[in-house]
Amino acid sequence: MELALIKILLPTIVAFVVGILLTPLVAHQLYKHKMWKKTSGNTASYGDDNGTPIFNSLHKERDTNTPRMGGVIIWGSVLITTFLFWFFSAYLNPELNFFSKSQTLLPLLILMLGSVVGFLDDYFTVRGGGGHFAGGLALRQRFLVVGLAALLSGWWFYDKLGISSVSFLGFNNIELGFGFVFFYVFTALCIYMSSVIDGIDGLSGGVFMFIFAAYAGIALYQSQFDIAALCAAVAGSLLAFLWFNIPPARFYMTETGVMGLTMLLTVVAFMTDVLGEGEGVSVLPIIGFLLVVTVGTNAIQILSKKIRKKKVFLVAPLHHHFEAIGWPAYKVTMRYWILGFMFATTGIILAIAF
Q: How many residues does the chain have?
A: 354
Q: Quick one: angle between helices 225-245 and 203-221, nearest 10?
A: 160
Q: How many other CB atoms are found less than 10 A from the CB of residue 34?
A: 12
Return the bridge partners of 45, or none: 48
pLDDT of 63 reads 63
Predicted confidence (pLDDT) per residue in 303-316, tens digit: 999 999 999 999 99
Can you state the percent helix, strand and coil of the chain, rounding each to 5? 70, 5, 30
pLDDT of 46 reads 45
User: Domain span at residue 196?
Assistant: 2-353
- Rounded to 5 degrees, φ, ψ at 338 are -60, -45
pLDDT of 192 reads 98
| DSSP E strands, the chain | 165-168, 171-175
Predicted confidence (pLDDT) per residue in 111-139, tens digit: 999 999 999 999 999 987 655 666 789 99
In angstroms, the CA 295 to CA 228 distance is 27
DSSP state of 45: B
Query: How many distinct structural domains can be found in the chain?
Result: 1
Return the bridge partners of 168, or none: 171
Q: How many other CB atoms are found less than 10 A from the CB of residue 50?
A: 8
Residues 6 or more apart whose Cβ sits within 8 Å of residue 209: 235, 238, 239, 242, 340
Low-confidence stretches of the chain (pLDDT < 50) are: 43-50
pLDDT of 26 reads 96
